[in-house]
Amino acid sequence: MSEFKFEPKPESDYLPLTALWSSELGFLKNIKFLILEVFFGVSITELLADTSSVQLTKAGQISSLEMSKSDNGYIEKISKFIPPSLMTKVMERQLCEMLYEKYFKTYQFLTHPEENLLPSGSERPEQNPEFSDPTLYRLNKLKTTQLSAYRGKLNFIWTTTETLVATVTWISTNSLEITLLLTGLVELAKRFRI
């Protein structure tokens, strides 16, 4: 007889599709942030996951044994969680606002670090409710399992968009060439990262 016992995850561990729409934000801000999330969300979550294992203390880097016990990770200003590219450089202010409103306040993917986990030479500035403040952030490791589900929701939006574009184009033009061209342009927009 197997000793395996299954315990399902609590409902709070699941990120519903409706979480992409915040009731605290207005209609236009929700649309703006949703567009930014669809275009940049996957690369931002990849950066969050990649930097979640960077471990620093006031004394500098720590050993791998201490690393496994730490709840730290990359600690920086919110703009450092935006992947450096030409497209993100143009949209940096809007992306910082989106990170603050959605990733910090709504999804809670980002959190403030504990005082004792700040990197050497860092002093925690006064917290300011504005997204452009110099407050330090880190990945909330309690929410890391939701990053994959979040990326899945963004891919679902892209797939739905491609399907709608292809269907509407085919029905309205009955032209395979135009349908393939527009579907290709949507796919290019999805993958185009400079």
Averaged pLDDT of the chain = 82
Domain presence at residue 95: yes
The pTM of this model reads 0.78
CA–CA separation, 191 and 175 (whole Å)? 25
Domain presence at residue 30: yes
Domain presence at residue 11: no
Domain presence at residue 28: yes
Identify which has the larger pLDDT, 143 or 179. Answer: 179
Domain total in the chain: 1
Domain presence at residue 154: no
Structure tokens at 79: 């703009």
Burial classification of residue 75, based on how many CB atoms lie within 10 Å of its CB (0-12 exposed, 13-18 middle, 19 or more buried): buried
Find, among 81, 66, 191, the residue nearest to 147 by Cα: 81
pLDDT the model gives residue 164? 95
Q: What is the pLDDT of residues 44-92, one digit of tens each?
A: 999 998 887 765 555 555 554 454 445 567 888 999 999 998 889 999 9
Domain presence at residue 4: no
CA–CA separation, 115 and 86 (whole Å)? 34
Domain presence at residue 3: no
CA–CA separation, 36 and 95 (whole Å)? 7
Full domain range(s) for residue 103: 21-146
pLDDT the model gives residue 123? 47
For the residues 1-12, what does the mean pLDDT come to? 84
Domain presence at residue 26: yes
- Element housing 112 (H / E): none
Written as one letter, the residue type at 40 is F
